[in-house]
Copies of this chain bind each other. A is one copy, B any other.
Amino acid sequence: MAHHVFPVRVYYEDTDHSGVVYHANYLKYFERAREHLLGPDELVRLLEEDGVGFVVVKASLRYRDGARFGDVIEIRSTAKQGSPYRAVFVQEAWRPGGTKPAVEAEIELCTVNRDGRLVKLPDGVVARVQALLAGA
């Protein structure tokens, strides 16, 4: 299936004293990738004009290997399913030269309005998820 690719460099800030990337930081990388996948300018517009923002409702991660300082890891993202209210992304972090993903994740998101109430996913988000599902 087609996937969106987004590179992330590992800096001092990302690692912990064990020498590898701190486990929570992959959630940040996956979010950065999703923002690029969906279009950062459109996300700003949605938030400022329509008052619509994203919330993560579920996340599951499996860690196989630890990325290290200086690595440029590749975040590969695609969609698993979509509904009018939920988008489910399948995301992987690959170390340079890796033969399998260092981290695999499934992240489920909803959108909320300024009062924090659930709203239907904006059309642009649904379209992007459909395109990923179709392998575009």
Within 8 A of B (CB), among A12-37: 12-20, 22-25, 27-28, 31-32, 35
- Indicate whether A19 sits within 8 Å of B22 (C-beta atoms), given known contacts A41-B70, A70-B40: no
| A: contact size bracket | 35 or more
Find out whether the CB atom of A57 lies under 8 angstroms from the CB atom of B63.
yes
Q: Does A127 have its Cβ within 8 Å of any Cβ on chain B?
A: no
Q: Does A134 have its Cβ within 8 Å of any Cβ on chain B?
A: no
| Residue on B nearest A58 in the bound complex, by CB | B62
Known: A12-B17, A40-B70. 8 other contacts (CB 8 A): A9-B32, A9-B40, A12-B16, A13-B22, A17-B18, A24-B27, A55-B66, A59-B63
